[in-house]
Amino acid sequence: MPEAPINIRVALPHDTRGILNVILPIQREEFGIAITAADQPDLQDILSFYHTGNGGFWIATAESKIVGTIGLKDIGNAQGALRKMFVVAEYRGKEHGVANSLLQTLLEHAYGQGLTHIFLGTTDKFLAAHRFYEKNGFVEIAKADLPPAFPVMGR
């Protein structure tokens, strides 16, 4: 069981490989999505995609190993899109607090920047994610009610 302290920090360009090493296996192996790094240009240049306007991208580390990710894309109109929230399996759960720490970091940043609404997309398959987001104040809305600028994933 992991015992290293969890640190949350802003992602830097040299973190790209470690970020992909967290996200791709979860997408492919756990979620069964046939996706590559090339299918996700936002992860090839995190600074240009996420660190614009009021956005940002953060990582959770344990002993300098990336164990979680979360991104905020500024979509205008004081709104943001929460994207790329992933935590490696052995660091999931309330006892580690990685997901909660990542989400709280994003929300503090977003509201500190004046954003009033944060939207996210997920699928019906991810019931644990649904419960997590609901416990943290998110409410489900119809896809048709998303703002026009919300970046809907193609997969």
Tell me the pLDDT tens digit for each residue of 98-119.
999 999 999 999 999 999 999 9
| Burial call 134-150: b when 16+ CB within 10 Å, e when fewer | eeeebeeeeeeebeeeb
For 38, half-sphere exposure in the C-beta direction (CA atoms, 13 angstrom radius) is: 1
The H or E element that residue 112 is part of is helix 98-112
- Does residue 125 or residue 73 have the better pLDDT? 73
Task: Quote the CA–CA distance of 64 and 61 in Å, as a whole number.
Answer: 5
pLDDT for residue 95: 87
And the tokens for 78?
A: 């004081």
Percent of the chain with pLDDT over 70: 94
Mean pLDDT of 67-95: 95
Average pLDDT for the chain: 91
pLDDT bracket for residue 154 (50, 70, 90)? low
Structure tokens at 148: 């026009």
Residue showing tokens 């164990």: 67
